[in-house]
Structure 1
């Protein structure tokens, strides 16, 4: 048999109290461990000597990242050109 407890004038089984306790602890721990959203990491600073040089470096990096995303299609054309 299950041990019964009287709570607020009602009979409650010990198994219901155990499930409620475990659910509450699990929910609270999950909510506290959620953390914040991941932020994009910033790369090293650009030590440019002029604003034009800084603009050139930023554009170059932007183009390099775009080419990297296209990666597989660019590699396939290079392989076909060598044949």
Structure 2
């Protein structure tokens, strides 16, 4: 017969402990895999050296998107 551990004054068989740990590990993994992810921005941030450059890039992207929709 398999061994046992005494926890809080009760004999707990080894197979129940192993089932409990494997279940907890699987549930933790499922939680981490299914947890909602934070929303990612649609485009990367614009890293312009000046405000004029940033405005030009935004205007260019807006025109490109408008041409693409046509």
TM-score scaled by structure 1? 0.45
Unaligned 5+ segments in structure 1 are 49-53, 58-83
Which of 1 and 2 has higher RCO (CA within 8 Å, sep 6+)? 2
Unaligned 5+ segments in structure 2 are 43-61
Q: Alpha carbon RMSD of aligned pairs, Å?
A: 2.6
- For residues 8-29 of structure 1, give each alpha carbon's deviation from its aligned partner in whole angstroms, at most 9, with x where no partner exists: 0000000000000000000000
Total equivalences in the alignment: 45
Deviation at residue 2 of structure 1 after TM alignment? 1.0
Alignment partners' CA distance in 2, 1:13 and 1:33 = 31
Larger Rg, first or second structure (1 or 2): 1
* Equivalence for 2:45: none
| Stretches (4+) displaced over 2 A | none
TM-score scaled by structure 2? 0.52
